[in-house]
Each structure stands twice: as structure tokens, then as C-alpha cells.
Structure 1
Amino acid sequence: MSKQNKQPLLQRPAVVGVLASLLSIVVGLVLGFVLLVLLNPGAAVGGMRAMLATGFSNMDKLGKVLYQAAPLMMCGLSVGFAFKTGLFNIGASGQYTMGAFFSLLCAIQFQMPWYVCLLAGAVGGAIWGIFPGLFKAYFNVNEVITAIMFNWIGMYLVNLLLANMPNMLASGWGASNSDRTAALNVANPGAILPRGPFAALFGNSSWINISIVITIIFAILVWVILQKTTFGYELKACGLSRDAAQYAGINSKRNIVLSMVISGALSGIGGGIYYLAGTGQYVLEKSILGMGFNGIPVALLASSNPIGTIFASLFISYIQVGGAAMQPAYSSETIDIVIAVIIYLAAFALLMRGIITKAVSGHKGKEGAAK
């Protein structure tokens, strides 16, 4: 192929996607800084410096970035996988919750090893993902409506089950708390994720384990499925046009259900990874866990690309860890608002992609007219 026939660099989808994500991040950081100035002008520069530098300040902080990025990455993969197949999986939070419950059930109640518990988390998330898929495929019910309802159903169901399973609660293992699950280091140390061979590099930080390795493997696996397999091609074909895919002989109903099942399984693994780390306990609360919703900006920032999800989740985790270092100059509520603004604007990658494409096309058209 001659050089004249090669596609210009700025017109290649991968390059445009990366540029769009980077531009979105820059816009988000700039507006985040403006907000810091408005809230506390004297501390704005120091606050932004803390947000951008804390994650690399020491190995313990970097370990925390990786620790928080792992479940975030799985939820981003879940939402992004559904996006690629034409579905909006806003039910990742409920699937994440069910995955956490199934993992903890196997860990505490049945004393299973960590890898069995993680597999159980995938099963729990997949079960909770099948319902929006079935309603969408066979009754044409919008998956957003079904998934939102199942987020609440999942949360209250898990709370109900845990409240009636004394062995699952911390109080059943000698602790005074009855509103949270038992600590794994007491109930079943074998269910805690291994620290892995790289733990020593992080100064044996309590945050570090093999979860980040597991999630990167899943990101690569999802990319291979979507880009290199017939099954992935069929899923994306259904997402682009369900009627056209069905006309071509693809079973669209089956693929819609499978897409939501796989998406749910990915979120479920995220829930399992977070609680099997051994650093947190599931608390019986009245609000939906936010991790599943945080997967939406991760997927948007990555343009639903599984490999891009790795970097998007690391970025969001990084600014969250950095945000905690902005106290006491800024209150925790202020920090949450600033981080939310940055994440919200960083997720405008799709809009930025359109702007870049339009700008490049307009420039190319002017050059053609000049010739």
C-alpha cells in the first residue's frame, strides 16, 4: 500500500479515541481547579498538587490506587461490554452487590478458598444480569428500567439474607458489630486474595494483592472476545442493528441475554475482588453501592475499549486517592464534588471524539478546496 493511500494519523479511530480521552481529562482537571479556586483560593494550587502527586508519593499510596482500580475496572468492563453490544447496563451496581454476597457466602458460610469464592461472585453477578437481558430480548422492556429496579431489589435482598444468617455477620464471630459481615482474617483467612509476588515492591502495603493482575487479564480477555471471535462479532452486530443481525441469521435474543449475563458476571467479579481483599466488610446499608455507577464514567472515558478501561480506571482511582490528601484545606464533601466534576467531564470522551473528527474533516475539506 502506498503512503498516499494510508489513512492519516488523526483519522485513525484508535488515535482519535486516545486524543478524545486525554482532552476530556484535561478539561475535567482545568474545571476542577477552577472549582477549587472558587471554594478556597488560597489552597487551590496546593490542593491540585496533592490530588495529582499523592498517588505516586509512596508505594503504599500507589498500592491503594491499584487496590481501588481493580473493582472499578471490572465494573467499567461490565458497562463497556454492554455498550459495545448496544445495551446500557446501569444495573452493574446490583450485579456487583450480588457478586459480593455470593463471594462472601462461600467465604464465610461455606469456608471455601478465594478462587472458588471469586467464581461464585461471577455466578452471582451473572444471575442478576440475566433478568434485564431476558426482559429486553423477549418483552422489549428497556434494560435501563429493569436494571435500576434490580439494583434496589438486589440490595434489599442481600440485606435481608445477611440479617437472617448469623454466621455471616461479625457478631457471629465474637465482634460487637451486627450490621456488617465478618472480617475474613478471622472467619476464613484462606478466602483472602493472595498478595502475589509483587507485594514486596510495595513495601508489603496492606492494599496490594493480585486483584489488579486478575482484572488486567479479564480486560485483555474481553478485548479478544470482542475483536477476535465470531461470538464477539455477533454481539456487536446485534448492538449496531438488531433487525439487520437477525436478518443475517444471528440469534439476536440469545445474544442480548448472553451479553447481559457476561456483563453481570464481570460486575460480580468486581464485587468479589473488593470484599475478598480482606480490607473491607459488607455493611447492611440503605443505599446502593456506588462502585457499579462509577463504572459508567470509566467505560465512557475509555470509549468502551477494554484496554482503555485499564487506564481509565487507574486514572479515576488515582484522583480519588489524591483527593483524600486535600484535607483539611477542603472538606470531604467539597473534595467529593471536585472529584465528581473531574470524573463527569472526563467521561465526555465521546463528545470530544466527535469534535476532533469534525475538526479534522473540516481541515481536510479546506485543504481539498485549496487544491
Structure 2
Amino acid sequence: MTKILKNSNWFNIVVPMIAVLLGLLVGAIIMLLTGYNPILAYQSILESVFLQPYYTGETIRAIIPLILTGLAVAFAFRTGLFNIGVEGQLLVGWFSAVAVSIMFSGLPKLILLPLAILVSALAGGLWGFIPGLLKARLKVHEVIITIMMNYVALYTTNYLIKHFLYAEGEKTPNIPESASLASTLLSNISQGSRLHWGIIVALLAAVFVWFLLWRTTKGYELRAVGYNPHASRYAGMNVNNNIVLSMVISGALAGVAGSMEGLGTYQYMMINSTFIGIGFNGIAVALLGMNTSIGVIIGATLFAILQTGSITMQSTAGVPTEIVSIIIAVIIFFIGSSYIIRWCLLRLTKGGK
């Protein structure tokens, strides 16, 4: 057992599992202390997500942007960067996809839909390029810049909607059908949910990130720069260019996440008074998934199950939805305490010696 825990691959599997179990346990304790039935609460989540087609569809729909934002954070982290600006990159990608769809509504779906997704990736990539360039050339920390860029994205998109694409209801006009990812077939199967074809895009993005990082020379170079920029520079790698490229790719993934919301879930973009939170949730998903593609998919699935199931948890067991937020926060806390978990496990396997 000790050898397994010392193996990083096994450790990356064991820690998230323990973190999830501890999070659910803490959530159950809080429910008991506040007078709620945790068994009924968790049962309602499982029954709604896995036995009711509508909530199953809504869960898969919620998984889509979480996978993409989780991949955006994980990709940057794998290359030695911490992209806190995923939320802003998502917003500009969302707006760009909707704007292009409305402006070029006369184009056939075969052209307009890929074009809208591509433009969203370019917009998100541009939003990542700015902090990447500042990091590479001026050594400005990317965390500070990306946080500020989130606010710029929020208020810029609001301004553009109000002055150029405003429709009744504090939103843009709906996108044309030729740019939509919505599916009557998927909606009927899931009994009226907003499930759309974006799940294919998200899964392809996960494969792309895995292949780029672990099966290409450029991916090795990006990871090497993140691991040790000084050694990489000594080996002849262009560290500055790789930093910028990493942030561009990370931003592009976040931008595509925004297009999934605009072209799939909502079919428009609303004026937001505050952040929608999907980009920030992507940070948690990446942490839970240990910054791997398959881990991000699993992490996004867990978060989506908890978020969607919290609705029926409230209606069936009377448990406030805020309990789910506490559970997610506790899971993240234990993920961040991974070295403490490893130490405790090693102590237990050694019999307390």
C-alpha cells in the first residue's frame, strides 16, 4: 500500500476519491446538524440525475462548459501558468459566437456554425494573448492580469450588447437556427432538456488537449517550459513564445466554452450584472481532475451532478442548494490539502510509526 501511495499516478487517483468522500461526509454532517436527512438528500440527487431523463439531459448539458473551462485551466497549469481569466475569456467567446451568428445569419449551417465556434476560440485566445504577452515580455504575473481582464470582459460585453445587439429582455436577439447546436432529437430523448450537440465538441477538446500535451513535440516543449523555464531556455527553447502560446490555447478553450452557452444552451447572450461562475468552476474542476483530460471529464461530471441534483434535493428533501456549494468547497479544500492526505495515509499504512 505504501508503494502505491508513493506512486504519483496512483496518488492522483486516490486523493480526488478521498476528497469527494470527505466532501460528501462533511455535507452529510452539516445536514444532520441543521435538521435535514442526508440520505434522502443524496438519494434525491442520484434518482433525479440517473432515473429522470430531463435531469439527465440537464446534467450532461452542464458538463459541456465545465469540461472546456476545466481543460483551459488544466492546460495552462500543465505549462506552468495559472489562468484565472477563464471567466472573462468565456464571456468574450460567448459574445463573439452570438454576434457572428446574428451578423452572418444568411450563411448555411455547414459554414456558419463552425465559423461561430472558430471566432469564439479566436476571441478567447486573444483575451489570453494579452496576459501571456505581458507575462512573457514584462514578467507581469498572469494571475493579476487575468483577474483584471475578467472585469474588462464583463463590462465590455455588456456595453456591446446594450449599444449594438440589444433586444427586449436585457439580452441579444436569438441566434438563427443555422448557428444553433440545439437538437430536437436530444431534447425529445431527454424529455425537454436543453441538451445539445456541444457535448461532442467538449469531448473532442479533451482528446485534443491530451494529444497535444502528451503526444506531440510542441506539447513536450510547453510542459518543459512550465516545469523549468531556465533549463528549457538553456536547451534552446523559446520560453517567451511558449508562454504566449500556452495562454492563447487556454483562452481559446475557454472561448469555445462560451460559444457552447451561446449557441447551445441559451441561443443568445444576456447582460450580466456579475460573473456567471462557469469559468471559476472550471478551476475547481481542473483541481479535482488533477489537470488531466480524463480527470477533468470526471470532475466536470461530478460537479454537474451536484449542481443539477441540488434542485431536486431542495424540492424533495428540503435541503437548501447552498449545501451543495459547501460540499464543492470542501472537496476543493481537501484537493488543496493533498499532501496532508498523503501524509495521513502513509502514517496509517505504517501502523502509526
**TM-score, scaled to structure 2:** 0.90
Q: Which amino acid aligns with 2:242?
A: N
Per-residue deviation at 1:200? 7.7
- The alpha carbon displacement at 1:94 in A equals 0.4
Question: In the alignment, which residue of structure 2 is the partner of 1:102?
Answer: 96
**Secondary structure, aligned partner of 2:132:** helix
Instruction: Give the secondary structure class of the aligned counterpart of 1:170.
Output: coil
Q: In structure 1, what is the equivalent of residue 75 of structure 2?
A: 81
Q: Distance in 1 between matches of 2:10 and 2:125?
A: 34
Please say if 1:24 is aligned against 2:15. Answer: no
Is the counterpart of residue 343 in structure 1 residue 334 in structure 2?
no
Q: 295-304 vs 338-347, which deviates more?
A: 338-347
Give the drift of 1:234.
1.2
Pairing 1:164-203 to 2, within 5 Å after superposition: 164-165=163-164, 168-171=165-168, 177=169, 179-184=170-175, 188-195=176-183, 199=186, 202-203=189-190
Please state how far the C-alpha of 1:162 moved relative to its aligned partner.
Answer: 1.3
- 1:58 Cα deviation after fit: 1.4
Distance 2:189 2:4 in 1: 39
The number of residue pairs the alignment matches comes to 347
1:10 and 1:195 mapped to 2: Cα distance? 45
How far is 1:238 from its partner? 1.4
1:285-336 alpha-carbon deviations (Å, 9 max, x no partner) = 221221110101000000111111011001100110100112347779x41x
Counterpart residue number, 1:289: 276
Instruction: After TM superposition, list the pairs within 5 Å mapping 1:140-289 onto structure 2.
Output: 140-165=139-164, 168-171=165-168, 177=169, 179-184=170-175, 188-195=176-183, 199=186, 202-203=189-190, 205-279=192-266, 281-289=268-276
Question: Judging changes above 3 Å, is the alpha-carbon distance between structure 1 residues 153 and 314 closer, same or farther for their aligned structure 2 residues?
Answer: same
Assess, with a 3 A threshold, how the Cα gap between structure 1 residues 361 and 49 changes in structure 2: closer, same or farther.
Answer: closer
Residue aligned with 1:249, SS: coil
Which among 4, 10, 15 is matched to residue 15 of structure 1? 10
**What letter is aligned with 1:191?**
A
Q: Does 1:134 align with 2:121?
A: no
8 Å contact from structure 1 (residues 16, 353) kept in 2: no
Q: CA RMSD in A?
A: 2.5
In the alignment, the residues of structure 1 paired with residue 67 and residue 288 of structure 2 have an alpha-carbon distance, to the nearest angstrom, of 12
2:29 counterpart residue number: 34
Task: Tell me which amino acid in the other structure corresponds to 2:339.
Answer: G
C-alpha displacement of 1:202 = 2.8
Q: CA deviation at 1:170?
A: 2.8
Q: Give how far 1:232 is off.
A: 1.0
Name which one, 1 or 2, has greater alpha-carbon Rg: 1
User: Which amino acid is the alignment partner of residue 225 of structure 2?
Assistant: C
Give how far 1:45 is off. 3.3
Aligned residue in 2 for 1:72: 66
| Cα distance in 1, alignment partners of residues 68 and 85 from structure 2 | 13
1:46 is aligned to 2:37:
no
Q: Sort the Cα spacing of 1:363 and 1:330 in 2 relative to 1 into closer, same or farther, 3 A.
A: closer
TM-score, scaled to structure 1 = 0.86
| Amino acid aligned to 2:226 | G
CA deviations 1:201-240 (Å, max 9, x no partner) are 8346432221112111111110111111111111111111
> Which stretches in structure 2 are left out of the alignment for 5+ residues?
none
1:12 CA displacement? 3.2
Contact 2:86/2:254 (8 A) holds in 1: yes
Q: Distance in 2 between matches of 1:121 and 1:51?
A: 34
Instruction: From the superposition, tell whether residues 69 and 101 of structure 1 become closer, same or farther in structure 2 (CA, over 3 Å).
Output: same
Distance 1:201 1:25, change over 3 A: farther
**Structure 1, unaligned stretches of length 5 or more?**
1-6, 172-176
Structure 2 residue aligned with 1:3: none
Post-superposition offset of 1:246: 1.0
Q: Is the 8 A contact 2:180 2:267 kept in 1?
A: no
**Structure 2 counterpart of 1:193, which letter?**
L
The structure-2 alpha-carbon separation of the partners of 1:55 and 1:306, relative to structure 1 and needing over 3 Å to count, comes to same
Shift in Å, 1:8: 4.6
Displacement of 1:361 in angstroms is 5.5
Would you say the 8 A contact 2:187–2:195 is kept in 1? no
Which residue of the partner structure matches residue 4 of structure 1? none
SS of alignment partner, residue 314 of structure 2: coil
Describe the superposition over 1:79-127 as per-residue Cα deviations: whole angstroms up to 9, x where unpaired.
Answer: 1111111111000000000000110011112215222111111111001
CA distance in 1 between counterparts of 2:338 and 2:171 reads 44
User: Which secondary structure does the structure 1 equivalent of 2:307 belong to?
Assistant: helix
CA distance, structure 2, for counterparts of residue 116 and residue 365 of structure 1: 58
Displacement of 1:275 in angstroms is: 1.4
CA distance in 1, matches of 2:229, 2:122: 27
